[in-house]
Structure 1
């Protein structure tokens, strides 16, 4: 099959279609989290905003209950950041990014003072320390420091979470509930043994959620290297494309591409939504460098975003009075403003009980 040329608008609409941001859908929250290969969860609120933007009648209590009954977990995954996934995907994705996390552990300022601790000694020590109950990062570090004298406690904590799949247990991440971080091992918390690594399936699922893509995009999403070889391993499963800049892209053969004229409704997304962070150039929804800079803010901080016509057109935050406050990047049409007002109403209704705390 020949190589097809894809305009930026087709790539934009296809990404939004695969992200379920062109139209809300009826789906179980964990099924949507699985399709998206996890929900970015560096902070407690963004996973709820991600699902509210994609699902009809999303009930945040359902996702909160999934964390409590352990059918959803929060742990370090892609790019060394916290994601919310189900336990099966926790094992699958952790095995995919573990090499990257090991590299981070060797170079990170927070963990490198513990890099000389052998994994075959650290792993059983962590399991022993967490045998009874989850522990806060400080307590985990103290217990490990007693077993590895001379190694800083905070470095041991960071080394442990990079090297081993440690879950942030509830109440962390529960809806409208405060909760500090406490760790437990994934196997003990979820009650499931490790899954077999399946990097090819991860690549397929990445393309279903974020494709078409280049090897550099897979690396940007995950942090891992070797993406070119992973794409090559799929062989005839892939179809080739090029973008407006002549960059080679691939996609799973048979996956539909969106029409460039597909309307894209206004959406308010939380901080760190993966729709922004899963391509090398980050230009599918932010083609203008000046707008990308305003979104990333000072020192790389990422703001909560406003999508209009499929593009980044503003930032938003919740005020203490429970109202959405926006900073738009351009004037909106009458129709766009009406769409925005409706979306703001949805978000304010969702967050109203917790507005003063978020």
Structure 2
């Protein structure tokens, strides 16, 4: 049954530590699994973290030396389940007979090492499978435990990185998002408009800018109060989002009751038709609400290379919006 391991365990440990000393996080976990596979002369090594606790029934695979291992799996029916009793598990033979999920794997032996946190709770494990019937040298247990502790620290580092990334994304979102309507804000509009203008100047993409104002919005605030006005803005922004063309339109609230839509790779005529549909949808929605008829005045312009800068474009769209108001409101001027 025993397969000979002709190695000096301390030299082996030194070799693995040197091989992984330059890595952290995901790279460390990958390097550790690859080196453990070599050291233990294994056919498969993977490292996991628990998905749920008390009891742990499912794990996420952080890295596996075999790409066919799923990213997550249920523990029941595998020898891995035993490790989450927080103990080292060594099975010398018949893994593919005694565990129904391993019946087609060809694995005979298994060595599993828990990964514990500072509270001695099992938060993951190292799995080492072999197609040989064998019993491992006792010194290998010490090496596995050392790696278990190092992997725990890297799992903690990864979780901190993920949490920091989430915080960073939230902060970035806050800097570009209008808090009331959850559309993009004026700051992001200026940056987006500038970037898009430069793209139009450099190449042949088409783009349009729609400058939208809700007509007589002061009357809404006077009649329904600022809470009612905020509700209208929120509901109108939801209509804009519902009508957004995927990969074409981006919506911005640039102040008060004014919104802008930047449309990429869209012609003036196609955007005009789209805005007509949007206005009809908005009119119908509000006519059937407590707020009654609410209309829009829209100025529509196309990005052109002839303009000096994007501010000229915005000013033209703004003037066209005011022309729409002079023309009786509830209309588009292009």
User: Taking structure 1 as the reference length, what is the TM-score of the superposition?
Assistant: 0.21
> Whose Rg is larger?
2
Q: Say which structure, 1 or 2, has more relative contact order (CA 8 Å, 6+ apart).
A: 1
The structure in which a higher percent of residues are strand is 2
TM-score normalised per structure 2: 0.22
